[in-house]
Structure 1
């Protein structure tokens, strides 16, 4: 069976967003960065790609219907600690830590408004 192995996030400035994801995930891009594309290899070999080559993808006020999620072990304390660490970097906070049906969570945004959620490991 074929399995998806890449998620693409549309961004306006790949270099700026690479720096952002480097800081929050402590990862280096693995695919050759170019002015319009870079990728980070995640757990299991899936790639998180940043792409600015899709004309018009960010025009107007695009609806954000997906999220990049970092699931953490360590309970609510781990979510709170990671949120504080990210907030200290000056990120845009969309949702302060709160309890949801699946546990403690919070949401920040990358420079283009793409959502990044902290959540507990199930």
Structure 2
């Protein structure tokens, strides 16, 4: 068994797909009024599912999830931070050293958190 899909409840899959296409530079594998699907890497896919269509119903009103994206080195963290600011991504946390490494956090249109980090020692 393996966990290879991340599914996020979103208000508008097309709007969220536009956001992730801009941020990740990826084209959706699938796009319909109720769902969008992206390939994140060889083993992981990101699904954006219309909140109103999910069964059983989603209890949390918005956001609540975090996608962690590992990169190599502080320079990569800083570079992505600058790029996301240029692209208009809402930044929730400026680059900072934390217990696990150097990181910053952005937000998608539904309040899901996107954490970019490099582990300590890299």
User: Which TM-score band (shorter chain)?
Assistant: 0.7 to 0.9
SS of structure 1 residue aligned to 2:42: helix
TM-score (ref. length: structure 2): 0.86
In structure 1, what is the Cα distance between the partners aligned to 2:59 and 2:13? 13
CA displacement 1:72-112 (0-9 Å, x = unmatched): 11x11110110010011111111111001122100000001
TM-score (ref. length: structure 1): 0.86
Identify which of 90, 107, 110 aligns with 1:109. 107
Runs (5+) with no aligned partner, structure 2: none
Runs (5+) with no aligned partner, structure 1: none
SS of structure 1 residue aligned to 2:88: coil
In the TM superposition, 1:32-111 aligns within 5 A as 32-52=30-50, 53-54=53-54, 57=58, 60=61, 62=62, 64=64, 66-73=65-72, 75-111=73-109
In structure 2, what is the Cα distance between the partners aligned to 1:47 and 1:63? 18
- Would you say how many aligned residue pairs link Structure 1 and Structure 2? 117
